[in-house]
Amino acid sequence: MDKEDRRRYLVVASVFLDIVTPLFQHMIEKDYTTRRFGSFQAFMDNLKVVHDLFHLRHRNSGCCKDNVNCSNHKSLPLIPLQWKKLYSENPGQGIHNCHCKFTANPVQLKELDISLSSIILLNCCYLLQPEEEAVERLRQYKNDYWSHSTTGCITQTEFNTVWSDLVTYILRLDPSKQDDLVSIKNRSLIESLFKKYFVCLLDLHKQPDEDLMQNGFTCECGRQMIILANKDQSRRHRKQYQIGQAVFYLHQQISLKSLFNVDKGRLVTDIKMMDDGRLVFCVPDQSKVLIYNKDESNTDSIPVRGTPCCITTVNSSTVAIIVVKPFRSSYIELYDINYKIKLKWIQVPGMKSACGISHINNKLVVGGLRTLMIVDHKSEETIQKIKIRCTPESIHASDNKIFFKNHHTGFISNERKKLKCYSLSGKKVQGKILPSDPYSITSLRDGSLYVLCIDGSIHHVSGDLKDEKAVNTNNIVALKGGNIISCNAKQNTMVLRNNMILSIFQEQQQD
Ligand SMILES: *[C@@H]1O[C@H](CO)[C@@H](O)[C@H](O)[C@H]1NC(C)=O
Ligand SMILES: *[C@@H]1O[C@H](CO)[C@@H](O)[C@H](O)[C@H]1NC(C)=O
Ligand SMILES: *[C@@H]1O[C@H](CO)[C@@H](O)[C@H](O)[C@H]1NC(C)=O
């Protein structure tokens, strides 16, 4: 197989999975929200919708209700698996052989693959004629390329004939996809990605095939990506620090202005270091995530649709970012920073972007009104909601504990100064009053914390919150007055942003 053929396959596959799929889902959402349905399920439960879809699966059925609108289709576009995914039969209503005995399942919009979402769009939504044509054509192209082609190749000729049509129809439905299309067209062949997309598209055309599914892949074709099973990271051997001891020395300072052309300090809202030493920054005003490779001194960026506010690392190549969308809610978005692509987005009902985001035991931790939420980024589900007395901010998780501060503190100064901790094993919140209001929280290799306070001081706090001591910053100007603090245990590194200066500290060698 020619490498370029495979690359073209990946490009076209990416267009269908990363652009067309979410676009179709979004169009359905727009349609039912304008028609004031409260949810996708409510929409699917609408009698007319059930009725129309029922006849796309069942032949020669006269229905008990609305029977002037019954139809009989020559071909049945909905396959049994799809119908079963959408509807369940109500028990004990066997008399009529018709749509009235079915109720919609709690299916999420983002679980719909291209086939199913195009059927719903074409049969149950209001589309203008040009839109309808575009949806039909995209669906047709998808079938042309994947119902028959299982080779994983697209020749130059095939590509040339299809690309401009894909662009035309996609932009007709959503002109804002232009940039995404340009960047996907240039996507280089990444074997692992190729394999995932290949499996995902094959799966769109047949029932999950045991052989294909066994290699650790879980297919989520309704979404943009598939996720490989992750192994838990084993605990590292670690040495305890004495609270307050000097842990870091200044290694390097970088001017953010020269790096990113950012002219105001406040424009970088979060910084994390990957395990390989790369730094990732949220730059909301530029709608970008920036990546700085500290050895090669080069920078890279990933465009983000919306405003990226806070960031956490997920594994060696992935970050999760809270992105605020204009006029819509916030989403968690996962990006692969090597390939600079969005892997997926997760909507977490009730999540507030101001609470922050962190990562623990392979799960994400976010917050909402008086709640901490644990989100499984693989299943995309909120697996735990922890009710607490305050709305959390500056969330930082480590060692089975979630640290945060109170977002709404009013005038109670002791509440403002509290560093709080919810222990997942103890299931309760503890607090520790610090000399100044906590602002940014990070943990060291031994599980103790560095808490940057609003007066610029840094406090070293034990993981159980019992001991606390201010870090002596007398001799180190770079340690004073920071705005963001973040450590990486693998790199033994701490970064501290002080307006436009980023200081990188290394751990002192210990004997
Ligand atoms: C048939 O469908 C039309 C269009 O949606 C609708 O206005 C009409 O009420 C339906 N007929 C019956 C008998 O419900
Ligand atoms: C992207 O494609 C354009 C032309 O299609 C080419 O000039 C450019 O070098 C490509 N960029 C990369 C990173 O491959
Ligand atoms: C990192 O996490 C992402 C998202 O869950 C996943 O797709 C990817 O395969 C993971 N990579 C590694 C190296 O574990």
Residue-level pLDDT at 363: 94
Indicate the pTM of the whole model: 0.54
**Whether the predicted pLDDT of 500 surpasses 50:** yes
Mean pLDDT of 295-321: 87
339 against 375, higher pLDDT: 375
φ, ψ of residue 480 to 5 degrees: the values are: -95, 140
229 against 362, higher pLDDT: 362
Residue-level pLDDT at 303: 92
Q: Which residue out of 54, 63, 65, 66 has the highest number of ligand 1 atoms within 8 Å of its CB and is therefore the one to mutate?
A: 66
Q: Which domains does the chain have, with CATH numbers?
A: 3-203 (no CATH), 224-507 (2.120.10.30)
Residue-level pLDDT at 221: 31
Closest C-alpha residue for ligand 1 atom 11: 66
92 against 218, higher pLDDT: 92
Least-confidence region, from 11-15, 187-191, 370-374, 420-424 = 187-191
How many angstroms is it from 10 CA to the middle of ligand 2? 16
Tens digits of per-residue pLDDT, 350-396?
A: 998 889 999 998 999 999 989 999 999 999 999 999 999 999 999 99
CA-334 nearest atom, ligand 3: 4
- Is 216 buried (19+), middle (13-18) or exposed (0-12) by CB count in 10 A? exposed
Give the start-end residues of each E strand in 274-427: 279-283, 288-293, 298-303, 307-313, 318-324, 330-336, 341-347, 358-360, 363-368, 371-376, 381-387, 392-398, 401-406, 418-423
- pLDDT, averaged across the chain: 82
CA-68 nearest atom, ligand 1: 13
Residue-level pLDDT at 295: 61
CA dihedral angle for residue 12, residue 17, residue 18, residue 21, rounded to 10 degrees: 120
- CB neighbours (10 Å) of residue 343? 22
Q: Which residue out of 18, 228, 280 has the highest number of ligand 3 atoms within 8 Å of its CB and is therefore the one to mutate?
A: 228
Q: Closest-lying ligand to the alpha carbon of 341?
A: 3
Coil, helix or strand for 462? coil
Residue-level pLDDT at 474: 65
DSSP string covering 384-428, please? EEEE-SS-EEEEEEETTEEEEEES--TT-HHHHTEEEEEETTTTE
Does the C-beta of 95 come closer than 6 Å to ligand 1?
Answer: no
CA-48 nearest atom, ligand 1: 5
150 against 49, higher pLDDT: 49
Closest C-alpha residue for ligand 3 atom 10: 315
